[in-house]
Amino acid sequence: MSDYETIIAEVHDRVGLIRLNRPRAFNALNSQLMRELTDALAAFDADEDIGAIVITGSERVFAAGADIKEMSTATPVDMLTSGYIDLFDRIRQVSKPIVAAVSGFALGGGFELAMTCDMIVASESAQFGQPEINLGIIPGAGGTQRLTRTVGKYLAMEIVLNDRRLTAEEAARFGLVNRVVPVERYLDEAMELAQQLAARAPIALRIAKESVNKALETPLSEGLAYERRVFYLLFATEDQKEGMDAFMHKRKAEWKGK
Ligand code: HXC
């Protein structure tokens, strides 16, 4: 776990914590960092003792975007063959819930990284934006898509076309973050949320995440049919029997993840 150079990966009870750690480059997401981040996420995802994951930066910066210095001389073919943006798909494929704990700047790819996570806890100092237009490009890791699905067309247009930045309070108002807390609390708050998630029935948690994500990708009738199928499927798990037995006997359920 400690072989990483651009991130720090730690385990706290059943939560895997990943800290983005390129302070001198404002946690710019260079390809090494993205590789290490996705490797650490895959390792946590495969670890039965981990139930949820938190990704954070520092108080001052979550991440200031893709590494502009690394990208500046790239050709389209370089961007395609490096597989850099494909790494964001690996984050999306993680089956366990991921909470982003965001303080300070979450810009460009940094904002997109936060939006790739499942929940966002923001500090009061968090600032969200897609400033790619200033560089003569557009967001490339979901910024025009996930953002628009969350905040709607008109605000997304302003953010993407005109570098409108959102404060933490605004982001909360527009449904982009789950909660805003004082700077000294944001990481603890995210960790507590992740510990709660990690204590839940693992298979139901995984299917629940998949089902909510499905809602963003399918027409309603297809999404409802999908939900019904996986709902039925959960009755094949030991945890469903345990959860309902625990309710009826007024005791706490003990999840097996089976
Ligand atoms: C590389 C970066 C960087 C970035 C900051 N730095 N952002 N390096 N890529 N995205 C580096 C600076 O070069 C500088 O190092 C150091 O971090 C501190 O930055 P300053 O600008 O001196 O700090 P400050 O004046 O406080 O301004 C902070 C900032 C600003 C507002 C975050 O740095 C900024 O605007 N950064 C760029 C944000 C951006 O455009 N992001 C989108 C990137 S494109 P040196 O060594 O020079 O002093 C993108 C596309 C995504 O994300 C596509 C798919 C993933």
**Catalytic-role residue among 36, 112, 189, 227:** 112
**Catalytic-role residue among 28, 100, 122, 132:** 132
Report residue 134's pLDDT band, with 50, 70 and 90 as the boundaries: very high
Most informative mutation of 26, 29, 32, 34 for ligand 1 (most atoms within 8 A of CB) = 26
Q: What percent of the chain has pLDDT over 90?
A: 99
Asked whether 60 lines ligand 1 (CB < 6 A), one says no
Active-site annotation holds for 36: no
- Centre of ligand 1 to C-alpha 91, Å, is 22
Asked whether 143 lines ligand 1 (CB < 6 A), one says no
| Averaged pLDDT score across all residues of the chain | 97
Q: Is the pLDDT of residue 111 over 90?
A: yes
pLDDT of the residue at 2: 60
pLDDT of the residue at 89: 96
How is the beta sheet containing 127-129 ordered, strand by strand? 61-63, 105-107, 127-129, 166-167
pLDDT of the residue at 219: 96
Ligand 1: residue whose CA is nearest its atom 6: 25
What's the whole-number mean pLDDT along residues 24-28?
A: 98
User: Could you tell me the two tokens for 210?
Assistant: 């998949």
Report residue 33's pLDDT band, with 50, 70 and 90 as the boundaries: very high
Helical segments of 93-200, H only: 109-116, 146-151, 153-162, 168-173, 186-198
pLDDT of the residue at 1: 53
The partner residues of 119 in beta bridges, in order of sequence, read 99
pTM of this structure: 0.97
Active-site annotation holds for 109: yes
pLDDT of the residue at 94: 98
**C-beta separation of 100 from 111 below 8 A:** no
| Element spanning 101, H or E | strand 98-102
**C-beta separation of 12 from 190 below 8 A:** no
What's the whole-number mean pLDDT along residues 75-90?
A: 95
